[in-house]
A and B are shown apart, each in its own frame.
Chain A
Amino acid sequence: MAVPAISSATLAGFYREHHGWLLGWLRRRTHSAECAADLTQDTFLRLLSRRVDTTELRLPRAYLSTIAHALLVNHWRRADLQRAYLAALAEQPEPVHASAEERAQALQLLHAIADMLAGLAARPRRAFLLARLSGLGYAEIGLQLGVSERMVKKYMAQAMLHCLRLSGDGTA
């Protein structure tokens, strides 16, 4: 559907009218003023990038809160992953000494990997992670997943092809 460009005056008005409300909505859910401000900006950016004609929205605040909710869920998901990684790191018998920068890069990488694997079905994804991160062989992975070794091999090829498609233009 072709969407006509929206005048910047319309957008500015829309922003003024709903910005404070959305910020409050997000602050109640994040309990962090900084995080709420970031997500508010992201929500309006998302609205802009979708070229939504704000004058046609019947329920503008419902629309905004739906976008904001999706961003919030994503934010929590990332925070969960990050927290779980740092907690597991701290529990290791031999503490890992990493600079703040190295740690930040590792977290970026972890998010990228989680995103890369997100589109995979649960079992190929699990098989791939067990092989890569836990160093398990196909027999052990098969036992854990309750499938044959042949199935594990299928999962591994499927998971790798999935990553290969995402890691380049897909057609090489």
Chain B
Amino acid sequence: MSAALVAPALEQAAQWFALRQQGWSDDDQHRWQAWLRADPEHADAWQRVESVWQSFAPLSAPAAAKALDSVDRRRRQALRGIGGALGLGALSVLGLHGLQAQRRLQMQRTASGHTGHWTLADGSQLWLNADSEVAIDIGNGRRALHLLRGELLLQSGHRPAFAALPLSVHVPGACLQPIGTRFAVGREAQGSRLDVFDGAVRCLPLFAAAREVRAGSAVQIGPMGGLSAVDADPLRGDWQDGRLQVQDTRLIRVIDELARHHRGYLGCDPALSALKVTAVLPRLDSLQALRLLARALPLRIEQPWPWWTVVRPR
């Protein structure tokens, strides 16, 4: 789950809502009323909770429940049908489906909170970030990786047997060919992102001209292969050793990065977003990282429930 700047009033309103639906005590209700009165923003936020909840009213509840459920179920079945290749763009679903039908691919995946490291048959070093999955198709004249989910970091290898065969990494919309290099590719909500740290990567989009992306630069790859240059992000290249090293980086950026490996919700008070941080943090232990930040910066960790963490000004 990713962190975002959310007004504290909205977070609190969502928490009060979850408590109300559970059934609250008189005492809870008094505390809620006090919260409502404390700030006009609270009242606004609560108004929005009610309007979301009431927006369902014109529907026939049983029919809407059945309809939404049946459509969900059909979609789940359809996704299972393509070999668990969840979250793939339509193009790559077809491509991968064909591949899997022809031969068994080697799959590597990591759970949330864990990264993985493998040396591939061609000598390449592959790191998988937490909660990621890749299909490996190396050998028998093939040398390709398909990133299905999450993020990978690759240091291309040079075993002589593979010298004549270019390595390629596939994401929806594009094929990436590294040229003696170290780079990271991550799947995002819309498309993918390529960050090159050493050497260069040839980016071959489906429908546009190829482009070479050099060390220190990055591109966003749309699901249809549209390329747009973005600023390279050094934070994206250093996760393989489990450390998050930041220098003069905005706090919201750091929290966002920690949120990728955080269980539950991790938010940041907008008042803190511009605060600059220089630190070395444990990347996979977000709570420990937050405690370290709280020691050095004017912030505190608010955790009303174990799965709900917000960083606030002290």
Partner of B17, one of A50, A57, A156: A156
Q: Which residues of chain B from 30 to 61 have any CB-CB distance to chain A below 8 Å in the complex?
A: 41, 44-45, 48-49, 51-53, 55-56, 58-61
**B244 interface residue, CB < 8 Å from A?**
no
Q: List 23 A-B contacts (CB under 8 A).
A: A1-B227, A63-B224, A70-B90, A84-B66, A88-B60, A106-B59, A109-B55, A113-B64, A113-B68, A122-B72, A133-B62, A133-B68, A134-B61, A134-B65, A138-B21, A160-B52, A161-B11, A164-B48, A165-B4, A171-B7, A171-B270, A172-B9, A172-B41
**A66 interface residue, CB < 8 Å from B?**
yes
Partner of A88, one of B5, B67, B74, B265: B67
**B163 interface residue, CB < 8 Å from A?**
no
**B71 interface residue, CB < 8 Å from A?**
yes
- A100–chain B nearest beta-carbon distance, Å: 15
Contact call A84/B14, Cβ cutoff below 8 A: no
Residues of B within 8 Å of A77, CB to CB, are 71
A55 to B25, CA, bound (A): 67
A77 to B56, CA, bound (A): 20
Contact call B60/A96, Cβ cutoff below 8 A: yes
A93 to B270, CA, bound (A): 51
**A27 interface residue, CB < 8 Å from B?**
no
A114 to B69, CA, bound (A): 10
Residues of B within 8 Å of A156, CB to CB, are 17-18, 21-22
**B165 interface residue, CB < 8 Å from A?**
no
A138 to B24, CA, bound (A): 12
Q: Which residues of chain A from 136 to 172 have any CB-CB distance to chain B below 8 Å in the complex?
A: 137-138, 149, 153-154, 156-158, 160-161, 163-165, 167-168, 170-172
Q: Which residues of chain A from 39 to 71 have any CB-CB distance to chain B below 8 Å in the complex?
A: 50, 56-59, 62-63, 66-67, 69-70
Query: Closest residue of chain A to B20, judged by CB?
Result: A156
**B140 interface residue, CB < 8 Å from A?**
no
Known pairs A110-B64, A164-B13; A84 contacts B71 (CB<8 A): yes
A50 to B207, CA, bound (A): 13
**B121 interface residue, CB < 8 Å from A?**
no
**B280 interface residue, CB < 8 Å from A?**
no
As a 0/1 sequence over residues 236 to 260 of chain B, the CB contacts with chain A under 8 angstroms (1 = contact) are 0000000000000000000000000
Query: Closest residue of chain B to A84, judged by CB?
Result: B67
Contact call A88/B10, Cβ cutoff below 8 A: no
- List 9 other contacts, CB 8 Å, given A110-B67, A161-B6, A164-B10: A56-B209, A58-B208, A77-B71, A88-B66, A109-B55, A113-B68, A133-B61, A172-B10, A172-B48
Residues of B within 8 Å of A164, CB to CB, are 10, 13-14, 45, 48-49, 52
Partner of A89, one of B23, B60, B207, B208: B60
Task: Give the interface SS of chain B, mostly helix, strand, loop or mixed.
Answer: helix
Please tell me the size bucket of the interface on A. Answer: 35 or more
Query: Closest residue of chain A to B219, judged by CB?
Result: A1
Contact call A109/B59, Cβ cutoff below 8 A: yes
Contact call A161/B65, Cβ cutoff below 8 A: no
A94 to B53, CA, bound (A): 25
Contact call A167/B65, Cβ cutoff below 8 A: no
Residues of B within 8 Å of A92, CB to CB, are 60, 62-63
Known pairs A80-B71, A81-B71, A133-B56; A1 contacts B228 (CB<8 A): yes
Contact call A113/B17, Cβ cutoff below 8 A: no
Residues of B within 8 Å of A134, CB to CB, are 61-62, 65
By Cβ-Cβ distance, the 9 closest A-B pairs, closest first, are: A85-B67, A88-B63, A157-B18, A133-B65, A84-B67, A88-B66, A161-B14, A156-B18, A172-B7
Contact call A66/B14, Cβ cutoff below 8 A: no
- B256–chain A nearest beta-carbon distance, Å: 15
A82 to B4, CA, bound (A): 33
- B58–chain A nearest beta-carbon distance, Å: 6
Contact call A163/B270, Cβ cutoff below 8 A: no
Contact call B55/A84, Cβ cutoff below 8 A: no
A114 to B55, CA, bound (A): 12
**A132 interface residue, CB < 8 Å from B?**
yes
**A5 interface residue, CB < 8 Å from B?**
no
